[in-house]
Amino acid sequence: MPPRKPSSRRLEDAPAAAGASAAAKASRALAAAKPVRRARAPKPLEPALVDALFSRFQQAEPEPKGELEHVNPYTLLVAVVLSAQATDAGVNKATRPLFALVDTPQKMIDLGEDRLREAIKTIGLFRMKAKNVVALSRRLVDEFGGEVPRERAVLETLPGVGRKTANVVLNMAFGEPTIAVDTHLFRVSNRIPLAPGKTPLAVELGLEKIIPRRFMLHAHHWLILHGRYVCKARKPECWRCLVADLCRFEPKSTPGKPVRGADGA
């Protein structure tokens, strides 16, 4: 008697059964696998370590300076407005000849938007920035006697001026102990960490709470310069960092070796 042939239904069901079996095995394997735990973020530095960190910065650079060139509070304000999404070096290249001729709000109004655009055309977003600079200059002349106001809330009402710009002007022009959070400072504060936060304002307010008063005037310059030249975004140079032993970022970098976990901010 010849052997019975499998029915067409059985042949059709075989792949489905095999697939179901494989899916069941995969499901059991996933269930047995241990959940992956993310590394816990390090705790912010304790007050004694914060004090030690800024003491080292102070010893290395007692009088840090911002890198935007200016000749008075007004030209500082203009330079900071122009520096948004641009490098300080690029802004300085454009403003050196500009500030030699234009160093007051009235002179900027007289120069006019068209000629200002031509003077700063090498800077990103130069059209909008030229419009804002002329508009803020007109506000200064009309409402403040041509002087730069010393109140942050008032500064923030000027065209092109946000909280960071206002803080830079208050600190550098008027000696106020403000914290101007740029991308470098934001990264350094979260990386060490000093005052971790998801927004520049959160970092600013956090730093104001933990930085000893005697360091406040220069604190944002130390952190900005440290982030710009040492604690870089993609390749932090931990091997030459003067606070590496205090910093809780891991793994520390070595010369020529990339760092896992370094962000691109």
pLDDT band at 91 (very low <50, low <70, confident <90, very high): very high
| Domain ranges across the chain | 42-65+177-265, 73-174
- Which of 47, 53, 101, 44 lies closest to 78 in space, CA to CA? 101
Residue 257 in 3-state DSSP? strand
pLDDT tens sequence across 42-53: 999 999 999 999
pLDDT band at 10 (very low <50, low <70, confident <90, very high): very low
Higher pLDDT, 257 or 166: 166
Which residues are known to be catalytic? 164, 182
251: its two tokens: 């793994």
261: its two tokens: 């976990």
Predicted confidence at residue 15, as pLDDT, reads 47
pLDDT band at 63 (very low <50, low <70, confident <90, very high): very high
241: its two tokens: 């960092």
Predicted confidence at residue 41, as pLDDT, reads 84
Establish how many alpha carbons lie within 13 A of residue 78's alpha carbon, considering only the half-sphere containing its beta carbon.
32
In this structure, whether the domain defined by 42-65+177-265 belongs to CATH 3.40.50.9100 is answered with no
In this structure, whether the domain defined by 73-174 belongs to CATH 1.10.340.30 is answered with yes
Predicted confidence at residue 37, as pLDDT, reads 58
Burial class (CB in 10 A: 0-12, 13-18, 19+), 242: middle
Residue 203 in 3-state DSSP? helix
